[in-house]
Every structure is written in C-alpha cells, then in structure tokens.
Amino acid sequence: MVLLHLPKLPSTILTPLSSSPIFLRTHFLNPNPNATKTPRPLLLFSTLTLPASEPTPIDPHTPEPTPHLQLPLHKLFVPPETHVPLDTPTLTARILKGSNILLSNYATDSQVAQAEFVKSSVRTEDCPSDGLPEFALVGRSNVGKSSLLNSLVRRKKLALTSKKPGKTQCINHFRINDSWYLVDLPGYGYASAPQELRMDWEKFTKDYFLNRSTLVSVFLLIDASIPAKQIDLEYASWLGQNQIPMTIIFTKCDKRKKKKNGGKRPEENVNDFQELIHGFFETAPPWIMTSSVTNQGRDEILLHMAQLRNYWLKH
Ligand code: GDP
C-alpha cells in the first residue's frame, strides 16, 4: 500500500505569540451533557502528541494537502492532540486546501466506498441506535445540500431519497462504509412553508442537535456566491451559543461572477461571514470552501470528517 507522509514535525512545542503555551478550545465537545456518551471535558491542548519521527498515514487516494491560504494562527482550526508547527512552510503544508483546518494524525480512512440510505425519522428517539458517529448537513433550502451529499458519496442521486415526498422534513440517515452516518436535515428558510410547519421543523432539528449523543459535528452549509443572509447568521449563532460542534461548508464557490451575485466574490463572502459570526465563538470554527460542480473541497471535507470521527471514536 502506498502511504503518503506528512512533513516531519519539530519535536518541541512552539509558542508564537508569547512565551506561554497556546491554548485553543476545540469544537469536539459533546453537545449534550446528559447524553449517553460520557461528556468530554473542555479540551485544552498545547502539548505535543505526535511523535516527530513517525510518519502519518493518509488515504492513498487523497492528494496531499496543498498550501493555499495565508491565515493567522488564531483563525485556524486545530484538532485536538495536534501539534501546531510554527515554521510557516510546515504549517501551511498541513492546512487543508481552501479551509482553515489543520490536518491531524486522525485523518485516516476518509474515502467513501459504500453509501446507503437507512431511514427517515421525525424524532431524535427514532434515529438509528447503533451508536455509530454521524455528521449532520443543514442549510437554507437551495444552498446545494443535496448536490454536496451526492458529491461526497460520488452517487448522482443518493440525496434524491431525502427529496421524496414526506422525507424533506425528516432526519434522513445515510450509512457510509458501514461505519458512520451522513445525516440530511430539513433545509430551513422556505419562504413558502406555513409558519406552524416551520416552527415544528425547527423544534425537532434543535432537539436533534441538543440530544443526539452520536452527533460529531453539524456541517452548516452557507452559499458563498451571495452575501450572508440573516437566517444563516441566526443559525450559526444558535449553534455557537449551544456549544454544538460546527463546521461551515461554503457552497457554490465556483460562482465567481461578481456583478451577478451581489457584488462580491466567494472568498470575500467567506471572509465577511466569518467576521459576522466572530462574536459567537470563542475560537474560529472550522470552515471549508466547496463546489459540487468542480468537486472543490470534497476530499478536504472527507479528511476533516475522518479526523473528527476517528478522534471521537477514540475518546
Ligand atoms: P438543496 O435544496 O440545498 O438540496 O440544493 P440543491 O443541491 O438541490 O441545489 C440547488 C441548486 O443549486 C441547483 O440548481 C444546483 O444545481 C445548484 N448548485 C448546487 N451546488 C452548486 C455548486 O456547487 N455550484 C453551482 N454553480 N451550483 C450549485
């Protein structure tokens, strides 16, 4: 088997801003302290946990992360038990392309070999009870959620299952590689939906976020081709306030026509959105720029999911 290797890491803890260690809070918190899985304490990590001499295996199919964005350290998402290399070339080589996410040793087994629809549930209690870790996709209607889901599993129509009558308002579980779930949640912000129905979806989606003990992270989809919408900001704010681990997936990053799309390019909208949600979080949440047309960000999302999942499984 071919193994790709990460750059060799220095074996000391580096502290760029002061002589004290860097303390970064992670988003790997258990959403609900009453949930069945033992709640994890707030994770503070400043210690080196990667052995400097051992190379990290990454999926043979995925390209090595490419340097892409220059981001200050405080804007990076650092997974737990991850050493932050302080020399710039090493650090940038470990940031997933088009994201603020540092790659950790947990980023293994990221590829999707098998995907199947399992069930639609209207209540959290009815969701699968096999204890497998899961990631929930949520976003405004038309944000590109179905397209992203199909792109992640490389199946043209898998997400159509969620669009069948009666299932659009459900929690739809798709089992991946028989070992984890992608969960498609109802889109929000339908202008035409009756108010009572909207309230109802909100109630059960929030209940799911707060009580689903196997939820590793919510993936909040935001359309990067247009300026931020109030409802998206409210959603991000609610997740932040409730300490629900969240990754922002910026969709439609291939749409680059400034004038047509509200005057700004995707990367400008991405920056604006982060500025706007800055106050809701103690540390920068992870984010990735994607396009279901070009498959930009697809492998990066899967690597990020793998590192969150593998860490979650181990703790
Ligand atoms: P959903 O309602 O969130 O499931 O959104 P869909 O996946 O059905 O997509 C809504 C519309 O956006 C469709 O016309 C898609 O073809 C389009 N779309 C989705 N993703 C992308 C993308 O990455 N780039 C572009 N240019 N269009 C997209």
Nearest atom of ligand 1 to the alpha carbon of 149? 7
Read off the pTM. Answer: 0.80
Q: Is 35 exposed, middle or buried (0-12, 13-18, 19+ CB in 10 A)?
A: middle
136 domain residue, yes or no = yes
Give nearest CA residue, ligand 1 atom 24: 252
Any domain includes 210: yes
Model confidence over 266-293: pLDDT tens digits? 999 999 999 999 888 888 899 999 999 9
Number of domains making up the chain: 1
Q: Are 285 and 247 in contact (CB under 8 A)?
A: yes
Name the residue type at position 280: F
Tell me, using a 6 A CB cutoff, whether residue 186 lines ligand 1.
no
Ligand 1, atom 22, lies closest to the CA of: 252
Atom of ligand 1 nearest to the CA of 162: 4
Side-chain half-sphere of 33: how many Cα atoms within 13 Å?
Answer: 4
Report the alpha-carbon distance of residue 185 to residue 168 in Å, rounded: 8
- Residue 203 included in any domain: yes
> What residue numbers bound the domain in which 303 lies?
86-314
pLDDT tier, 68 (very low <50, low <70, confident <90, very high otherwise): low
Residue whose CA is closest, atom 25 of ligand 1?
252
Q: Is residue 41 part of a domain?
A: no
Query: Ligand 1 mean position to 52 CA, how many Å?
Result: 43
**Residue range 78-112, pLDDT digits in tens:** 998 998 888 888 888 899 999 999 999 999 999 99
Nearest residue to 143 via CA among 260, 247, 238, 250: 250
Cα–Cα distance, 144 to 164 (Å, whole number)? 16
For residue 80, being part of any structural domain is answered with no
Q: Is the pLDDT of residue 233 over 80?
A: yes
Ligand 1 within 6 A of CB of 140: no
> In this model, does residue 236 exceed pLDDT 50?
yes
**Rounded percentage of the chain residues whose pLDDT exceeds 90:** 54
> What integer best gives the mean pLDDT of the chain?
78
Residue 261: the pLDDT is 56
Does residue 117 lie within any of the structural domains? yes
pLDDT digits (tens, 9 = 90+) for 129-148: 999 999 999 999 899 999 99
Segment among 42-46, 183-187, 223-227, 261-265 with least mean pLDDT: 42-46
Residue 15 within a domain: no
Residue 41 has pLDDT above 50, yes or no: no
Q: Is the pLDDT of residue 6 over 80?
A: no
Please tell me the distance between residue 143's alpha carbon and the centre of ligand 1 in angstroms. Answer: 6
Q: Is the CB of 167 under 6 A from ligand 1?
A: no
Report the CATH number at residue 193.
3.40.50.300
Q: Answer whether residue 42 shows pLDDT above 50.
A: no
- 124 belongs to a structural domain: yes
